[in-house]
Amino acid sequence: MSESPHQRAKRPVSAALAGPYGHPFHPILVTVPIGAWVGSLVFDVASHTVDQPAFLAQGAMWLIAIGVIGALAAAMVGFLDLFVIPSGTRAFAVALTHMTLNLLVTVAYVGGFLWRQAGGAAQDAVPAGQLALSVVSLAVLGVSGYLGGKLAYAYGVRVADEAAQAEGFTRVGRRAG
């Protein structure tokens, strides 16, 4: 019996590269850019609250770089997850939008990093334009994250099927009481 397109979307293209069944690597890897970029925004804002902001501005710049590296790793694994989604489906359209937004955000952060590098060693608080770019980029990342959640939680892409999930709800013993 062959698997349905929905069942195939739960299986990895390569368990070694994309994560085994029920344990995809993409959701684990996205925590790196999300955390780094949120941290960079916190540092950007904090640079406006201290007398010597250079360390915060420089820290934000390097958090952006860490986020870009993490985003590239997450994207490589995300592409593998995309390959299991049948084209022409609603899930595929959402996945393409999710991917496009993430690529745009990554390009924006690369641009932001280069913009900061071009300014030389930071001495002052992060300029308003760079701060605004980070805010907008993070907002778009939030929209993309919502779509990623829709892929996993609403459409079940790369999530264990209902039979495997049901195992977690079988009783293992009697309760005292």
- Whether residue 146 lies inside any domain: the answer is yes
Number of domains forming the structure of the chain? 1
Q: Looking at the domain assignment, is residue 4 inside a domain?
A: no
For 116-151, how does the pLDDT look when each residue is reduced to its tens digit (9 = 90+)? 999 876 788 999 999 999 999 999 999 999 999 999
Does 126 reside within a domain?
A: yes
Residue 8 lies in a domain: no
For the cut 90, the answer to whether the pLDDT of residue 158 exceeds it is no
For residue 172, is it within any domain?
A: no
> Is 152 in contact with 159 (CB distance < 8 Å)?
yes
Q: Would you tell me the crossing angle of helices 128-149 and 31-46 to the nearest 10 degrees?
A: 150
pLDDT per residue as tens digits for the range 34-83? 999 999 999 999 999 999 999 999 999 999 999 999 999 999 999 988 98
Residue in the structure block whose two tokens are 């986020």 = 67
| Alpha-carbon gap, residue 129 to 112, rounded angstroms | 10
Identify whether 169 is part of a domain.
no
pTM: 0.84
Residue 75 lies in a domain: yes
Q: What is the per-residue DSSP string for 60-95?
A: HHHHHHHHHHHHHHHHHHHHHHHTTSPTTSHHHHHH
Q: How many CA atoms lie within 13 A of 4 on its CB side?
A: 5
The per-residue pLDDT for range 24-37, each reduced to its tens digit, is: 788 889 999 999 99
Q: Which residue shows structure tokens 């084209």?
A: 87
Distance CA 99, CA 87 (A): 14
Binned at pLDDT 50, 70 and 90, residue 156 comes out as confident
In this structure, is residue 71 part of a structural domain? yes
Range of the domain at 124: 23-161
